[in-house]
Structure formats: C-alpha cells, structure tokens
Structure 1
Amino acid sequence: MPSAAEEVPHGEREGPVPGSCGGFHGSWGDFEVHVRFSGGGDRHRAVFWHDRAASAVRLWVDGVPVGAGCDLDSYGHWLDGRFLVVRAEGPDDHPRQSYGPGLPVTGIVPVLIHDVAHGSTRTLIPGPHEIWADPQVALAGETLRVYATREAGAADVPDRILPARPAPE
C-alpha cells in the first residue's frame, strides 16, 4: 500500500491522521479536498471534493453522497457531532439575490443540513421575505434555529425554527 506521500506526490496536505484532528485538506492541480471530522466519541467524516476547473463541489458523509444537484460551498461545520451544515449557492429567483466579488457564494444563501443520526438531508432555501446573507444554524434542545446573520443569532431572532428530528416519510 502506498504511503500518504506517494498518494499525494505534487500536492499539499495539512492535518494529522483522522481521529486526532478536526480535519485536513489537500490540493492537487485543479482539485482540492477538505475533510471535516465531527467531535465526540461517534466520529463522522465529511469529504468535500472541489473541482476548481469545473467550479463544482461534491460531498460525501461517511462515504455516502450528499447534496447531489446542489451548488455547495467547499467547507462546512458540525453541530453537536450530528448535523453537518453547509452553505449552498442560489436561489437565482430570490428578489434580493446578488452576485459579486467578495461573496463566498451568492448574496442570499441557502443551507444544507445533513443529519447523520437519521441519514437525512434538508436543503433550506430562504423565501422571498427571508434575507439570509450570512445564515447561522444553531441546535437548541430538539430544534434547529436558522438565523439570517450572526447578529440575528447573537440576539436570538431566528428566521426559522424546525424540529431537529426529520419528519417521517
């Protein structure tokens, strides 16, 4: 089996072995990979594969594809070791949508929330009345709270409150 140095001959790699860090990244030419591990005893792994030439990001959580068809950001974060939260691109038809330099994705930002405990994924798209410029998601008891900005989160003024457990199908 090749060593890590042989597997990444012309790239960069940061971070020690899985299980002892929060994540690592590597880059090779037009490709970049970001791995984020959840905290706690039952660790989960989110792998973001960014094809810079195609401007596309693919995501796997514990080896299962997540968010197919979504234009995802190349980073995400874990809530309580259970929920992976990732920003997404769009929606183009939102009345306050904007594009431009310095924006990580677009001016109005949806979020994808993947629940590893139930294997479910929800993509939350702001409605015409919701201005999610810097959306924050917080876990409060048995609810997920979505805030439009960091300031709204600090003031505890959520745009949406939804059950942490997904609705049965």
Structure 2
Amino acid sequence: MDQIEFLRERFRFDEWKDANRLDHELELHDIAVPEGVLPGLEAGRVRRIDPGDGTRLLRASWFMADDRDAMIVMDIRECPSRTAAHEVLLELLANIQSPHVERLTEDAPGDVAFSSGSSAGLIFARGNVVVRVANGGARLVPVTPIAREIDTWLVEGTGSATPLGPAAA
C-alpha cells in the first residue's frame, strides 16, 4: 500500500470526499481577510505564496490584542475545485506530526474538519478552500472558535472573498 492509499484509509477519505454541508455550491477566489473578521485579534504579517501546484495560499499571523505571546498562524488555500481542496486537506493531514488527529463532526467548521488537539490546530475545507488554523506563539489559545469565525465569514461571502453562489445545474 502506498502512502496516499494509507492516508485515504487512515482518515476515511471516501466518507468525506466531495462533502458539502451547504445547500449550494461555494467557490471562492481572491480571498483577503480584512482586519475586523476576527474580534480580539490583530493582523500581523500577511503574504501570498504560490505553492506551484495550481493553488493560491494566503498565510497570515494574528496576535491577541491584549497578549502578543498568543499568536495564531492561518493558511487559507484556494483550490481549483472542492475535489482538489479535499485532496489538499488529505495532504495537510499527512504533515501533522501528532497521532491524535481526529475528524470533527458536531459544530465543526467547514464541510469537513480535523483537529490535532483542543488548542494545537485545526484544518477544515469549505467549498474549494482549505483553512489551517494553528497556534504559533508561546501561549496557546483555542483554535476552534477562530476557525468557526473564518468559516462563517467564508460562507457569508463578506469582506474580499467572492462567493460565486449556487452552482448551475
């Protein structure tokens, strides 16, 4: 069994590939997270990275307004399709160093989400986008509420993200 097949089996990929928890398709492009999206957090460094695989990556660091030792690192990766986003999510799961990765179901952000611990990190896919939220500072903060805020923002289509709306049938 090769590594990809092992990962597909370990994370039960066939159960969630192409999952969509919305009643319509969502495809987002040119995502730029505005300052006010995450209450209590201040934007640090933001940069666009070309991973060289047909996706676009926005990497941002955010600091707690009242505690600069609490930093969140967020990657937002725009993929060509929902299917491609789920493949990227599987690749990101392969890079997690913890054996304690679990799929989140109830109240989870996105169409599918995984966590590597209560505060360590969370990865979710929504439409054609994959979001990774992780602690990057000396003081850990819960990442799930932050991931939920980003997911809500993506779904509502506010800010600079451009939702294309319901897919043509």
Specify the TM-score bucket, using the shorter chain as the normaliser.
Answer: under 0.3
TM-score (norm 1): 0.26
**If each structure's strand is expressed as a fraction of its own residues, which one has the higher value?**
1
TM-score by length of 2: 0.26
Larger Rg: 1
Select the structure with the greater relative contact order (CA < 8 A; seq sep ≥ 6): 2
